[in-house]
Amino acid sequence: MNNFNDAGIRIVAISVDTPEQTRVHMLQEAGYSFTFLSDPNLEVIRLYDLVHAQEIASGRDIARPAEFLIDPSGRVRWRMVTENFFVLARPEQVLAAAKALP
């Protein structure tokens, strides 16, 4: 986490889960310490074209896995979007991408 802070990166996750579900599962049980935003109506998730319709286990719409570097003006500077829920950007990939930005 310090490497991200040193690079000026603030980690924020967006989930379809309610704030209470996020608090229990992500913060208390998993121990994550970064900011989680709740988007149960998929409003922001839709803006980034990340809706995974009718996920198999739950049958409900959820967010596809994705990572973005967004500058302070809101412009997407880098992204990694995948259909595979087990493929995520590695921290060193994100840091390298951030370092390569002009």
Residues 6+ apart with CB under 8 A from 43: none
- Residue 86 belongs to domain spanning: 2-100
| Lowest-pLDDT range of 13-27, 49-63, 88-102 | 49-63
Averaged pLDDT, 32-47: 90
Overall number of domains in the chain = 1
Q: Quote the mean pLDDT of the chain.
A: 88
pTM to 2 decimals?
A: 0.76
Question: Confidence class of residue 68 from pLDDT cuts 50, 70 and 90?
Answer: very high
CATH number at residue 38: 3.40.30.10
Over residues 5-34, the pLDDT tens digits come to: 888 899 999 988 888 988 888 888 888 888
* Distances, alpha carbon 95 to alpha carbons 35, 42, 58, 82, 100, in Å: 18, 28, 33, 18, 9
Question: Confidence class of residue 57 from pLDDT cuts 50, 70 and 90?
Answer: low
